Structure 1
Amino acid sequence: MTEPPRRLERLLPFLRWRSALNREALRADLLAGLSVALVTLPQALAYAQLAGFPAHYGLYAAMLPAVIGTLFGSCVQLSTGPVALTGMLTAASVAPLAAMGSDAYLALAVTLGLLAGLMQLGLGLLRQGWVLNLLSQPVFTAFINAAALLICFSQLPALLGASGPRAPQLVDEANRIAEALMAPHLATLAMGLGALIALIALRRLVPRLPGVLVVVMACTALSAATDFEAGGGAVVGVLPPLRPSLHLPPLPEWHLLTGLLPAAFVLAMVSFLEAASSAKLISEKTGEPWNENQELIGQGLAKLAAAGAGTLPTSASFSRSALALANGARTGMAALISAATVVVAAFSLGQWLHHLPLAVLAAVILDAVGRLFKPASLLRVWRIDPDDGLAAGATFVATLAFAPNIQNGILTGLLLSLALLIWRSMKPRIALLGLHEDGTHRDLERFGLPHPHPHLVVLRFDGPLHFVNAARFREAVNWARTAQPDVRVVLISAAGINAIDATGLEAVRREAANLAAHGQQLAFCGLKKQVIDVLERDRLWADIAPHAVYRHERQAIDALAPLADPPENL
């Protein structure tokens, strides 16, 4: 009788909220929702600008996508909407194809979000969330650090009051910044730096205060009072009447559409890893499980909702999700209350935002993104594993070198980390074993142990036996059969072999035949069931089975000792 409701809850995760909803939970959700909304409003405007959209598009991204993301996601504290990293990726992917802010640019950016959403939704529905684990944490960390630098760099023109539009090429943008440094707009610089200092001070001194909202309101009021715009300061300006509607942009030409696919895959991967990082942290603190496939569905549907609303691609915000958790959000009602508050504020306060300086929005981005730059994390990766350190370092350098096409940086890291993984798979650890004083068989070279039998050698092979390392297996067996004089049996300690493919099976066949040709015997102990299952599907198993079913080294050595002894000793 309980199965249909459970199946329905899998399709509609928000039905699970019913068990947690009560007066106390609603009170906590109300506080959390309002707190998140107060931070979302200025961030939405800032991150829309970062993505190359008009500022008010960020408000659209904080409405319907936020609702869809929480209704169909698995972690109720996640705050879906505009985020800095997704905005930067969007701008980097589309800027080479169209002028920022143009109709063509907006259509391509919305299409990019649509493609990324379809990818996430498809992976979630097919329960293939593991694909996104191909991007290792060191590569992701390096990309975040490099992207944080580039995002901060991109905000310097607004902070300095540089004239003209953003240059599509990094070198041209650097020249524009250099010119602005020589002759900055002093009022703009003072407004931006003042806002940045105030944001940092409020966050450290009064962390529970919505510092972003306080600073934005104060700077907007100051801008209006001092007629900042008349003095040459750049402001948000007149916002058009907010008329959110559902419609998809016309699809671009086929070559542009296919050209967006790699960028869409990177966007889907990076934005989901950003969401997953928040979900994992929240799950650890609350003890509530989360499901990566369900979260893929939720985040994918949120991106589709953003595309339907004609706005920038969305993701889950780390800072706003942490704020929701800190304020005690219990269910997804907190996100619904936050989205409703954004809607009310957007329609009632839209025109008041006319005087908001763009330098203040730049300060909001610098404050939020600057905290993502953690070079110590890259040094830690290098200390732990040089291979991971190499992949992380290459990702960091490539992201900066390929800018503004920063998606190429993460693709570089992805390909290099996969190449290093294959390289490590080609060189699994092998060791000859001897009997340790504790009764186990261990690396005889490391512990200075003798061979367990004068005519038998035990070889441990640590890794799956497949096409990548089959040659390594054959080299190891040939090394083992000559490891001491008159070796009659080579025993493979196979507990570390957790898989075997056709190439690996062929390597076993050839070595068994090679040993037989030299009057020697190949034997196995500790074979796992999944390996035996593969071997049994081939005639080889009938040949090796009599000496391949031993549970451990001791049993095998005792059973094989008569076979290993020379005929004259029998």
Structure 2
Amino acid sequence: MANAFTSILHNLINRLTPFKAWIGDLKDPKTFKADAIAGLTVALVLVPQSMAYAQLAGLPAYVGLYASFLPVIFAAVFGSSMQLATGPVAIVSLMTAAALEPLAISSPDGYLAYAAALAFMVGIFQASLGFLRLGILVDFLSHPVVVGFTNAAAIIIASSQLSKIFGLESVKGEHHYVTVFNLFQDIPQTHFTTLLMGVFSIFLLVYMKKVAPKLPNVLITVVICTLLSFFLGYESRGGAVIGLVPSGLPGFKIPDVEFGQMVDLVVSAAVIGLLGFVEAISVAKAIASETRQRLSANQELVGQGLSNIVASMFQAYPVSGSFSRSAVNFAANAKTGLSSIVTGVLVAVTLLYLTPLLYHLPQATLAAVIMVAVFYLIKIEPVVHAWKVHRHDGFVAVAVFMTTLFFAPHLEKGIMAGVLLSLGLFLYRTMSPRFVEVGRHDDGSLRSAELFELKTSDTVSIFRYDGDLYFANAGYLEGKVLNSIAQKPNLKVMVLDFESVDLIDSTGEETLARIVERLEVAGIELYIARAKRTMLDAFTRSGLMEKIGEDRFFRERTLAAKFAKEKFGDEIDIEPIITVQHITR
């Protein structure tokens, strides 16, 4: 009992002190300087991006700054990646808006509280997975699911900003595609001053990224468009601007939300927690492969979870690791988590002293920032690649893409459909593993007789079974065995090659026992070759080993054939199994 408690305490201490791995490196002035510069570089990108993503989430722009202060610092201190840049991201912001929209209709005054409560639930979910070492659960979101969802989400995000580019207030529909249709109907009422500002912002963002990719194109665009807005009287001409941004740091505040409303957010919180972490761990792994730094998925879950909990306590909303800002952080030569701490401090300075400068920032510019950022999330090549590898994967990616687009803003339905479809197709594939008779190939190996047109024996057959043996496919194996003996009326010995079987459950064991009985009735002996130790142990415990006979288990398939020859003599022919054949084609 004492040892268990000590182990739990040791694990807890390690989970809460990962910064010990890098804090000693800060004694080196070069490391400190590199992190300070990297932190400044990321902050220049984060400040305008965070405001844009907050508005994507249906929140005031300053909430994005709140989410870029303490959450960024906590994620760096308690995470395992030294370059992962946490904060507001596009997909999590969109999913936040989708989760909160129904509650906003019934109680618009509590929208900020709902956003904070959602961050709290996401944080608890992620931190719990991390402390319990259940990071493996994110693997249920397969790559095709993530790819399909990301492409659809990018299109939804970009199209959701069109109203701000055109300066329109279109009627929202039950589904996102209805909202977009309503927008296109309202295009004749476009506010052309807003449209010009939006198009100019997109041009600047794309042009700057092309001609000067190392410069902070987002910050430069925001500064230029804010100055134009101020000097040209953009607001007086009907253009929408950010307006007054409250000065000062966010205060500690527990979200004031009823328990019943939090229950309504449980599914959304779990989906956001999983998908947000998939985004974070993906970029963290990519960077770790370059830096060769140790990365722990469970520790990263703790870091992301604690950052979301802190976000909820300081009037922010769910955050995650960012692809773009992490890449900037890495490219700026960040060495430790100090870079993110510097970023958070600079955001705090912005909140304290620089918010008046943001008043004239056009809404259309923020919309352009979002649209250009998510444009790079649209990738068709991974979908095509998934289709080439396995058509089931390609089908899942396309299905998730279409489902997400159709059900938006209910994005969780696309994810849930993808997970269920992936599991269903996996189960379908494992229900019918390969079951082939093998013969001796020209190269000396035993290969599929049908595929390579190899001669087989009418009296001794070796069948290779490629898969696990469990409840979903036990009946399949039984059917294959019975069909095979029906085609060989003179069969005396059947050898089952179980080298590929890693798992057998009680249903599989019972089915195998039934196969033995049916073969005995037909006058056929069953031999088992190359079974793994775990399988043999299961047979010993169940008594099936004794029922079949220990002498009928073999390390090699040819040993089984030779044993049968010694027993049956001239009654059987094992030449096609032993002798090398020449391929007929």
TM over 0.5: yes
Match of 2:531 among 527, 530, 536: 527
Relative distance call for 1:165 and 1:299 in structure 2 (3 A) is: farther
- Measure how far apart 1:24 and its partner are: 1.6
Partner in structure 2 of residue 431 of structure 1: 436
Distance 1:7 1:173, change over 3 A: closer
User: How far apart are the structure 2 equivalents of 1:455 and 1:564?
Assistant: 10
Amino acid at match of 1:173: T
Q: Could you tell me how far apart the structure 2 residues matched to 1:568 and 1:316 are?
A: 66
Q: Percent identity?
A: 36
Aligned with residue 303 of structure 1, among 297, 308, 311: 308
Could you list the per-position Cα deviations for residues 103-156 of structure 1 after superposition, in whole angstroms to 9, with x for gaps in the alignment?
A: 322222222222222111111111111111011101110100000000000000
Q: Which amino acid aligns with 1:28?
A: A
Tell me the equivalent position of 1:269.
274
Q: Alignment partner for residue 469 of structure 2, among 449, 465, 470?
A: 465
Q: 1:316 aligns with which of 318, 321, 324?
A: 321
State the Cα distance separating 1:100 from its structure 2 match: 9.9
Provide the C-alpha distance between the structure 1 equivalents of 2:246 and 2:467, rounded to a whole number of angstroms: 62
Shift of 1:419: 0.6
Matches within 5 A, 1:102-121: 102-121=108-127
Task: Tell me the distance in 1 between the aligned counterparts of 2:339 and 2:34.
Answer: 8
Query: Which letter does structure 1 place at the counterpart of 2:515?
Result: E
Written as runs of structure 1 = structure 2, the 5 A alignment for 1:122-133 is 122-133=128-139
Q: Find the counterpart in structure 2 of residue 498 from structure 1.
A: 502
Are 1:238 and 2:252 matched, yes or no? no
Q: Partners of 2:378 and 2:480 in 1: how far apart?
A: 45
Give the letter aligned to residue 522 of structure 1.
L
The 8 Å contact of residues 480 and 490 in structure 1, kept in 2 or not, is answered as: no
- Identify the residue that residue 216 of structure 1 maps to in structure 2: 222
**Alpha-carbon distance in 1 for matches of 2:187, 2:170:** 14
The match for 1:551 is 555
Q: Distance in 1 between matches of 2:158 and 2:117?
A: 26
| CA spacing shift, 1:126–1:11, aligned 2, 3 Å | same
Tell me by how many angstroms 1:174 deviates.
2.4
2:554 aligns to what SS in structure 1?
A: coil
CA distance in 2, matches of 1:298, 1:92: 25
1:58 is aligned to 2:64: yes
* Aligned equivalents of 2:108, 2:392: Cα separation in 1: 43
Query: Which is further off, 291-300 or 20-29?
Result: 20-29
Q: Write the letter of the residue equivalent to 1:373.
A: I
Aligned position for 2:488:
484
Unaligned runs of 5+ in 2: 1-6, 574-585
Q: 2:337 aligns with which of 332, 338, 343?
A: 332
Aligned to 2:578: none
CA 1:316–1:548 in 2, change beyond 3 Å: closer, same or farther? farther
Query: What's the CA shift for 1:465?
Result: 0.3
Question: What is the CA-CA distance between 1:101 and the residue it aligns to?
Answer: 9.6
What amino acid is aligned across from residue 460 of structure 1 in structure 2? R
1:358-406: CA deviations, max 9, x gaps? 0000010011011111223323322322111111111111101101111
1:157-196 equivalent positions in 2, closer than 5 A? 157-163=163-169, 169-170=175-176, 173-196=179-202
Q: State whether residues 171 and 179 of structure 2, in contact with CA within 8 Å, keep that contact through their aligned partners in structure 1.
A: no
Counterpart Cα distance in 2 of 1:418 and 1:6: 32
Looking at structure 2, the residues matched to 166 and 26 of structure 1 have their Cα atoms a distance apart, in angstroms, of 49
Asked if 2 retains the 8 angstrom alpha-carbon contact of 1:50 and 1:84, the reply is: yes
Identify the residue that residue 376 of structure 1 maps to in structure 2. Answer: 381
Kindly indicate whether the alpha-carbon contact (under 8 Å) linking 2:170 and 2:186 is maintained by their aligned counterparts in 1: no
Which residue is 1:395 aligned to?
400
1:490-519 Cα shifts (integer Å, max 9, x gaps): 111101111100000001110011111112
CA distance in structure 2 between the partners assigned to 1:101 and 1:351 by the alignment: 30
Contact 1:99/1:105, CA 8 A, preserved across alignment: no
Deviations 1:423-479 (A, max 9, x none): 00101111101112222211111112122x542111111111000100011012213
Measure, in 2, the Cα distance between the counterparts of 1:535 and 1:246: 61
For residues 376 and 388 of structure 1, do their structure 2 counterparts lie closer, same or farther at Cα, with a shift above 3 Å needed?
A: same
Shift of 1:176: 4.4
Aligned counterpart in structure 1 of residue 203 of structure 2, from 182, 197, 203: 197
Deviation at 1:187, TM superposition (A): 1.2
Give the aligned residue type for 2:118: L
RMSD of aligned Cα (Å): 2.1
Please report how far the alpha carbon of residue 348 of structure 1 lies from its aligned counterpart in structure 2 after TM superposition.
Answer: 1.2
Q: Is the 8 A contact 1:382 1:390 kept in 2?
A: yes
- Of residues 202, 217, 225, the one that matches 2:231 is 225
Distance 2:560 2:494 in 1: 11
What amino acid is aligned across from residue 90 of structure 2 in structure 1?
A
Q: 1:554 to 1:199 in 2, by over 3 A?
A: same
- Residue type matched to 2:495 in 1? L
Question: How much has 1:99 moved relative to structure 2?
Answer: 3.4
SS at match of 1:466: coil
The amino acid that maps onto 1:45 is: M
Give yes or no for contact 1:455–1:564 (8 Å, CA) kept in 2.
no
CA distance in 1, matches of 2:371, 2:215: 19
- Structure 1 residues 24-55: Cα deviation after superposition (integer angstroms, max 9, x where no partner): 21121111111000000000100000011111
Is 1:88 aligned to residue 90 of structure 2?
no
Q: Report if aligned partners of 1:108, 1:252 keep a CA contact under 8 Å in 2.
A: no
Letter in 2 for 1:541: M
Aligned to 1:33: 39
TM-score by length of 1: 0.95
Go from structure 1 to structure 2 and tell me whether the alpha carbon gap of 1:346 and 1:539 turns closer, same or farther (over 3 Å shift): same
Work out the CA distance in 2 between the residues paired with 1:271 and 1:329: 23
CA distance in 2, matches of 1:188, 1:346: 27
Given the alignment of the two structures, is residue 410 of structure 1 paired with residue 385 of structure 2, yes or no? Answer: no
Shift in alpha-carbon separation, 1:71–1:264, aligned structure 2, 3 A: same
State the distance in 2 between where 1:265 and 1:394 align: 21
Verify the 8 A CA contact 1:9 1:16 in the aligned structure 2: no
Q: Does 1:260 align with 2:268?
A: no
Q: Distance in 1 between matches of 2:564 and 2:117?
A: 67
**Structure 1 match to 2:49:** 43
Change (3 A) 1:7 1:314: closer
**Aligned letter for 1:410?**
I
Tell me, yes or no, if structure 1 residue 474 matches structure 2 residue 478: yes
Residue 450 of structure 1 corresponds to which residue in structure 2?
455
Structure 2 Cα separation of the partners of residues 119 and 6 of structure 1? 18
- 1:15 and 2:46 matched: no
- Structure 1 distance, partners of 2:190, 2:131, is 52
What is the CA distance between 1:561 and its match in structure 2? 2.2
TM-score, normalised with respect to structure 2: 0.92
Q: Deviations over 1:277-334 (max 9, x none)?
A: 1012111221223111111111111111111112110000000001111111111011
Give yes or no for the alignment of 1:351 onto 2:356. Answer: yes
Q: Which of 258, 280, 283 is equivalent to 1:278?
A: 283
**Is the 2:247–2:351 Cα contact (8 Å) retained in structure 1?**
no
Of residues 122, 146, 152, the one that matches 2:152 is 146
Identify if the C-alpha distance between structure 1 residues 166 and 334 changes in structure 2 by more than 3 Å, giving closer, same or farther. farther
How many angstroms does 1:81 deviate by? Answer: 0.5
Q: Secondary structure at the match of 2:378?
A: coil
Count of aligned positions: 565
* Offset at residue 192 of structure 1 (A): 1.0
